Amino acid sequence: MSASKKISKKDIVKILSQWNQEFAVLVPSKEGDVTRMARWDGKDTGFMDSHRNTVQPVKANFFPPMEEMFSFQKNKEGYHIELASPDEHKLLIFAIRPCDANALAILDMAFKDGYEDPYYLSRRKGTVLIGLGCTNPYGSCFCTSMGGSPFDSTNVDIMLTDIGNEFLIEEITEAGKELVARTEELEEAKKTDEAKAKQVKETSYNKVTRKIDTRDIDKKLLASFENKDYWEKVSAKCISCGICTFLCPTCYCFDINDDLLKKQGARFRSWDSCAFPVYTRMPMENPRVEKWRRVRQKVCHKFEFFPMSFGSIACVGCGRCIRLCPVNWDITQTIESVPEIT
Amino acid sequence: MTVTDMSQRKKFFANDNVYLPHIAIIEKVIDETPGVKTFHFNFKDEKLRKEFSFNSGQFAEYSVLGVGEAPFCISSSPSRSDHLEFATQQVGKVTNALHRLGVGAEIGFRGPYGNGFPLDFLQGKNLVFVGGGIGLAPLRSLIWNAIDNRDKYENIDIIYGARSPDDLCFKYDLDAWDKDKTINITSTIDKEDKSWSGRVGFVPKVLEEVAPSASNTVAIVCGPPVMIRFTFPVLIKLGFTPEQMITTLEKKMKCGIGKCGRCNIGNLYVCRDGPVFTYAQIKNFVSSEY
Amino acid sequence: MKNSEIEQRLRQEAKALLEQGKVDYIVGYEAGSLKFTTTPLITRNKDDVERLIVSPFIVNNLSVYLAEIKGRVGIAAKGCDSRSIVNLMQDNKIAREDVVIMGIPCPGLIDLKKIELLLGKDRDELDSVTRDNDRAVITIDGKEKDFPMAEVLFDNCLECEFPVPRESDVLLGEPCALVTGEVSKKTGIKELEAMPRRERWNYWKEEFSRCIRCYACRNVCPACFCQRCFVEESEPQWVSPTPKWQDNLMFQVTRNIHVAGRCTDCGECERACPMNIPLRSLAKKMYDIVDELFQYKAGTDKNASPLLTAYEAIEAEDFIR
């Protein structure tokens, strides 16, 4: 890809302000010391200091922890159902990391398939992703083992490389090209900039030291499906909370519940997790009472079932689950420990 | 993309949004057993009433708005479409709310979902229906469908049982099928009961005694999970191949359309790739999860 | 006593317990998969005990596993953990004879979140973090920085009253000096109580708007062992499963009430929360109220009746008016 422009870091407010006319610009923000992508307030540049990925994944901006599906009212004529009016703004996400962008591509497959999910897809439509490559990966990152890399530009419209005082711009999609074309106050990039960017990318790639081998992992998992001893050992320290699921950029299970106050209410969907026993609980039986079955479901869904249906492992190697698990349960250790097929 | 081709499925969306329920009005409530009721209903919207269609074995998500939503099969037959029916046992929050509703009450309806029974595959064959308790609900949709298209199918055998005479559902159907000379029905209850002069024994055992021929036959099984698990070995003993055995499964469901994740068996979603499965499909998998 | 000595004794003790068939499982800490992090080790295999470690980062309250492990367990327990174990015995979740408590006197654990905030760096960017008496020595890019321990210990460690396990079968080290200090100013109980009511309400409304109902706070807590938590009930539905701030707040407050008299201030709830909600401020307030009203500190006396589930006729009834 050719790079011809760059953003000078001191001009960042000017650039984002232009984009803010057309889009709802989201930047890495902090709330209560928890980082997430949130609406840029128009002047703050604190996000320029954030040199790592956010705690809350970008999925939360398209598939939020809680959203109203519709509201209803009851009057003399009966029930009347109403949809909330959709948000008119298109989103522009600034400094999305390659792993989170790849995760959106995975979620797109799930939410488009069969019956299209109107809530997720209407937010996704027209979104522009400005990727920022990772020059300082976490010790928990393993994107290079999951088909990605710190500078993987497969699913972004523009890829930015931090070369010191500037971000070098690479136009990836048509939408990215068009955006660059109509943005003012960009600087011309020099040959030395491109050389520097190349070096930055190589150094960053080598900083990802956590690696796993996922060859034939789907077959291995299928062969070990009934190996109760193995799954009991693997699941022993899990405490069945929802952290790994909720903070995973590719997990998308949800719950649907109604709220009622007198004669009006709303139906909400909210994040749910296969780690919870109540997830599959029916009044008469629960197929996953035992913790080892739930842990098995988590691992097999991501590394075997989802690939069977969609051709892609549902994990981008962002490492949030490893970093934030209260007991440091580690999916990479589990994948490496799945028995070989005999 | 995914396992099942969804392109032929009929979609009746309200406002282009698959999660929005249509409003339906309850027209009749039948007490099947203590704890089980059948509801007859029709859509409020005239146009939808005329256009709606479904296949036997498909289900829908029924709402009591403000309480919640739950999946039940459509228990009426597509061949008798002046109204729609579903049956439910009172077991939790949503079903308790449903059972409190009477004629004229409004419910939400999203559907039809699921794959339905494979009518093309069943055509020209002998059909053996094996049902237990409220499991007869999806089967009766297909049974009436088959009766209304009788010449498409060969022999029809029904083996149906419940815990006690009081627990037999759809007694009016059982009487009607008993009178129908083109069908063989064997009803049974689990344990001896003074008010019952018919057969006694668990459904799988009675199936073994009735011993229908496996030649050019498809067995369609629905009932409590424990009944299904014991029925399959009997069918195998009788010579049925895994492709000749069909069942319809039940799982906790919320979205009903293969998105929320909870009804999966492996990479299949019971709501989207089922609920009708052949034994061949599920036997590989999850000996303990269906 | 140095951690390495306690560690050696722990390994010896654990191995002996398994070899002599006195326990079926050993539950302790081993090195985690991230820098400085430790992780629970649950094993039946005597060769695995070589992986057991003792370090300033052994944060987990391992007693949370006791109720679910079927068999006799040899468990490594710090002061607060041993109190949780006593609670479980009082609640009849485990029998005393089924547990061998290997007590670890604890001088306080280092809160990596505090270090990250002080240095503006994440933990994997640090070379080393070690304890040198009352100072924490941190090396970054070869350069050393040190802080008073009081600035880097967990809040609950700064307020610890029982660093030496009160109940144990074997004590693996000598009692150690406590380091006390001021807990984090922003979220301390004193600061919150000084806020006017409306401001305090808005504070908690904002904090609980971040809650995503991952239930990590509930699941790390050894006192939360209900098979079916009240949030999972649908008839009646006490609290909505949807994470609205009102329901989130109700969930946490109700949880605090449910564990009142059994919470040992191990601090795990706050540490586990991925949204940095100051849960310990609520938990510790409840802990203080229990102490004030009943002069009772959970898990310090294994012969005591559980506070809120035992009734004695002589109890004051001044709440009945």
DSSP three-state, residue B61: strand
Structure-token pair, residue C305: 């009746």
Percent over 70 (pLDDT), chain A: 99
Do residue B50 and residue B140 come from a single domain? no
Give the mutation candidate from C234, C240, C242 for the B interface (greatest B CB count, under 10 A). Answer: C234
User: Could you give the CA distance from residue A199 to residue C164 in angstroms, rounded to a whole number?
Assistant: 53
Is pLDDT at C178 greater than 60 in this prediction?
A: yes
Could you tell me whether strands B183-189 and B156-162 are parallel, antiparallel, or unpaired per DSSP bridges? parallel
Q: Which A residues, 255 through 274, put their C-beta within 8 Å of a C-beta on chain B? A: 255-260, 265, 267, 269, 272, 274
Do residue B204 and residue B86 come from a single domain? no
Do residue B133 and residue B208 come from a single domain? yes
Question: Closest Cα of chain A to C119: distance in Å?
Answer: 14
What pLDDT sits at residue C315? 74
Do residue B141 and residue B240 come from a single domain? yes
Indicate yes or no: CB of C234 within 8 angstroms of CB of B96: no
DSSP three-state, residue C257: helix
Do residue B109 and residue B147 come from a single domain? no
Q: Which residue of C has its CA nearest to B97?
A: C235
How many Cα atoms within 13 Å fall on the side-chain side of residue A256?
25
Q: Which C residues, 22 through 41, put their C-beta within 8 Å of a C-beta on chain A? A: 32-35, 37-41
What pLDDT sits at residue A83? 93
Q: Which C residues, 212 through 251, put their C-beta within 8 Å of a C-beta on chain B? A: 234-235, 237
What residues in A contact C210, CB-CB < 8 Å?
Answer: 31-32, 34
Q: Is residue B287 a part of any domain in this protein? A: no
Residue among B14, B25, B22, B21 at smallest CA distance from B106: B25
Does residue C45 belong to the interface with chain B, where contact is any CB pair within 8 Å? Answer: no
Q: Which residues contact B230 (CB under 8 A, 6 or more apart)?
A: B202, B204
Q: Is residue B218 a part of any domain in this protein? A: yes
Structure-token pair, residue B253: 């469901």
Output the DSSP codes for B176-204.
Answer: HHHH-TTEEEEEEESS--TT--SEES-HH
Indicate yes or no: CB of A305 within 8 angstroms of CB of B267: yes
Q: Is residue B5 a part of any domain in this protein? A: no
pTM score of the predicted model: 0.94
Give chain C's domains with CATH numbers: 1-106+161-181 (no CATH), 110-152 (3.10.450), 183-300 (no CATH)
Structure-token pair, residue B153: 């199918």
Do residue B123 and residue B244 come from a single domain? yes
Give the mutation candidate from B9, B134, B259, B283 for the A interface (greatest A CB count, under 10 A). Answer: B259
What pLDDT sits at residue A288? 93
* Domain count of the fold of chain B: 2
User: Could you give the CA distance from residue A106 to residue C278 in angstroms, rounded to a whole number?
Assistant: 34
User: Could you give the CA distance from residue B189 to residue B192 in angstroms, rounded to a whole number?
Assistant: 7
Is pLDDT at A236 greater than 80 in this prediction?
A: yes
Q: Is residue B188 a part of any domain in this protein? A: yes
Average pLDDT for A8-25 = 95
Do residue B234 and residue B137 come from a single domain? yes
Q: Is residue B161 a part of any domain in this protein? A: yes
Average pLDDT for A204-230 = 94
Q: Which residues contact C319 (CB under 8 A, 6 or more apart)?
A: none
Q: Is residue B187 a part of any domain in this protein? A: yes
Q: Residue B206: which domain range?
A: 119-248
pLDDT, tens digit (0-9, with 9 covering 90-100), for B12-26: 998 889 999 999 999
Do residue B136 and residue B187 come from a single domain? yes
Is pLDDT at A175 greater than 90 in this prediction?
A: yes
Return the exposure string of A22-35: e unless at least 16 CB atoms fall within 10 Å of the residue's CB, then b.
Answer: ebbbbbbbbeeebb
Q: What's the burial of A337, exposed, middle or buried (CB within 10 Å: 0-12/13-18/19+)?
A: exposed
Q: Is residue B242 a part of any domain in this protein? A: yes
Asked if B252 and B263 touch (Cβ cutoff 8 Å), the reply is yes
Beta bridge partners, A26, equal A39, A93
Q: Which residue of A has its CA nearest to B89?
A: A283
Asked if A226 and B287 touch (Cβ cutoff 8 Å), the reply is yes
Element (H, E) at B264: strand B264-265
User: Could you give the CA distance from residue A185 to residue A8 in angstroms, rounded to a whole number?
Assistant: 9
What pLDDT sits at residue B284? 66
Between chain A and chain C, the number of residue pairs with CB atoms below 8 A apart is 109
Average pLDDT for C183-206 = 89
Give the mutation candidate from A115, A246, A310 for the B interface (greatest B CB count, under 10 A). Answer: A115
What pLDDT sits at residue C1? 63
User: Could you give the CA distance from residue B63 to residue B23 in angstroms, rounded to a whole number?
Assistant: 9
Mean pLDDT of chain C: 93
pLDDT per residue of chain B (290 residues) written in tens, 0 to 9: 556 788 888 899 988 899 999 999 999 999 999 999 999 999 999 999 999 999 999 999 999 999 999 999 999 999 998 999 999 999 999 999 999 999 999 999 999 999 999 999 999 999 999 999 999 999 999 999 999 999 999 999 999 999 999 999 999 999 999 999 999 999 999 999 999 988 999 999 999 999 999 999 999 999 988 898 899 999 999 999 999 999 998 899 999 999 999 999 888 899 999 899 999 887 766 555 54
Does residue B100 belong to the interface with chain C, where contact is any CB pair within 8 Å? Answer: no
CATH number, domain with residue B72: 2.40.30.10
Question: Closest Cα of chain B to C212: distance in Å?
Answer: 17
What residues in C contact A52, CB-CB < 8 Å?
Answer: 122
At A2, the pLDDT band (50, 70, 90 cuts) reads low
User: Could you give the CA distance from residue A242 to residue A9 in angstroms, rounded to a whole number?
Assistant: 38
Indicate yes or no: CB of A280 within 8 angstroms of CB of B252: yes
Q: For A38, phi and psi rounded to 5 degrees?
A: -140, 165
User: Could you give the CA distance from residue B36 to residue B87 in angstroms, rounded to a whole number?
Assistant: 7
Question: Closest Cα of chain B to C214: distance in Å?
Answer: 17
Q: Which chains touch B (3 or more CB pairs under 8 A)?
A: A, C
Could you tell me whether strands C99-103 and C170-171 are parallel, antiparallel, or unpaired per DSSP bridges? parallel
Indicate yes or no: CB of B20 within 8 angstroms of CB of A283: no
Q: Which chains touch A (3 or more CB pairs under 8 A)?
A: B, C
Do residue B190 and residue B105 come from a single domain? no
Structure-token pair, residue A173: 């999609």
User: Could you give the CA distance from residue C166 to residue A183 in angstroms, rounded to a whole number?
Assistant: 68
pLDDT, tens digit (0-9, with 9 covering 90-100), for C86-121: 999 999 999 999 999 999 999 999 999 999 999 989
Q: Which residue of C has its CA nearest to B68?
A: C234
Q: Which residue of B has its CA nearest to A115?
A: B257
Q: Is residue B264 a part of any domain in this protein? A: no
Of B113, B129, B150, which marks where a domain is finished? Answer: B113
Structure-token pair, residue B273: 């790739």
Question: Closest Cα of chain A to B271: distance in Å?
Answer: 12
Indicate yes or no: CB of A78 within 8 angstroms of CB of B44: yes
Sheet strands side by side (includes B199-200): B199-200, B183-189, B156-162, B126-132, B217-222, B245-248, B276-278
Average pLDDT for C291-308 = 91
Q: Which residue of B has its CA nearest to C236?
A: B93
Structure-token pair, residue C223: 């006192």
Mean pLDDT of chain A: 94
Average pLDDT for A188-210 = 94
Indicate yes or no: CB of B92 within 8 angstroms of CB of C237: no
Write down the H helix ranges in chain A: 12-22, 98-112, 118-124, 174-181, 191-207, 217-223, 228-235, 243-246, 291-300, 306-310, 320-324, 331-337
What pLDDT sits at residue B139? 97
User: Could you give the CA distance from residue B48 to residue B41 in angstroms, rounded to a whole number?
Assistant: 13
Amino acid at the residue A101: A
Of B68, B94, B113, which marks where a domain is finished? Answer: B113
What pLDDT sits at residue A1? 47
Do residue B29 and residue B78 come from a single domain? yes
Does residue C244 belong to the interface with chain A, where contact is any CB pair within 8 Å? Answer: yes
Q: ipTM, 2 decimals?
A: 0.94
CATH number, domain with residue B155: 3.40.50.80
Do residue B42 and residue B141 come from a single domain? no
Residue among A104, A21, A92 at smallest CA distance from A57: A104
Do residue B36 and residue B103 come from a single domain? yes
User: Could you give the CA distance from residue C39 to residue C28 in angstroms, rounded to a whole number?
Assistant: 8
